[in-house]
């Protein structure tokens, strides 16, 4: 079985979730920049993690490069974002706008809360965040610039429960 976790993030939250999943599921973990897919065994799981950056999944280009082989896998995607989890339409729009149309319906998607540490942002990202905050108005703009860290292992319960329920060979002692 060549089950695998592939991730791409920007500031570490996606990688943290991916590492927790790798430990829990005993699956190999690889950054998308180092991952070349080929010849999956039937029923193999590909657990993909991506952060959202300016409304687009960081993993978007990698998905496009691997569009031919991805349908051979059982695809599960976790998306890490600062967008509140209650804003499901917005969250699904990020996915729909970033995933090739032929793959969109093949994914089981989970949304996970992220983090924002303002002083760790690049100067470009701080600038863009400040511009977005200005355009968003006083109240929403102030919220956008407030740091937060909601990256917690407990947020993976629903995803882990799903993987257990579908009995993916090679995970969770199956």
Q: Residue 163 — pLDDT band, cuts 50, 70, 90?
A: very high
pTM score of the predicted model: 0.88
Q: How many residues does the chain have?
A: 174
174: pLDDT strictly greater than 60: no
Distance, CA of 16 to CA of 12 (rounded, Å):
6
The percent of the chain in helix, strand and coil, each rounded to the nearest 5, is: 45, 20, 35
In tens, the pLDDT along 79-92 reads 999 888 999 999 99
Distance, CA of 21 to CA of 40 (rounded, Å):
20
In tens, the pLDDT along 96-132 reads 999 999 999 999 999 999 998 888 889 998 898 888 8
Q: Structural domains in the chain?
A: 4-114+150-165 (3.40.50.360), 116-149 (no CATH)
67: pLDDT strictly greater than 80: yes
Percent of the chain at pLDDT > 70 equals 95
């Amino acid at each position: 079985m060549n089950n695998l976790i592939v991730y791409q993030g920007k500031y570490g939250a996606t990688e943290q979730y991916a590492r927790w999943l790798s430990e829990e599921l005993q699956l190999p973990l690889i950054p998308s920049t180092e991952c070349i897919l080929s010849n999956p065994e039937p029923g193999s799981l590909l657990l993909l993690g991506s952060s959202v950056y300016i409304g687009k999944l960081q993993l978007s280009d990698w998905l496009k490069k691997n569009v031919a082989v991805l349908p051979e896998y059982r695809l599960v995607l976790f998306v890490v974002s600062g967008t509140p989890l209650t804003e499901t339409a917005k969250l699904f729009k990020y996915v729909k706008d970033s995933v090739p149309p032929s793959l969109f319906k093949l994914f089981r998607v989970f949304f996970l809360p992220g983090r924002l540490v303002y002083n760790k942002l690049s100067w470009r990202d701080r600038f863009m965040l400040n511009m977005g905050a200005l355009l968003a108005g006083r109240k929403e703009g102030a919220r956008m610039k407030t740091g937060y860290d909601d990256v917690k292992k407990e947020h993976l319960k629903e995803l882990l429960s799903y993987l257990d329920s579908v009995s993916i060979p090679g995970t969770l002692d199956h």
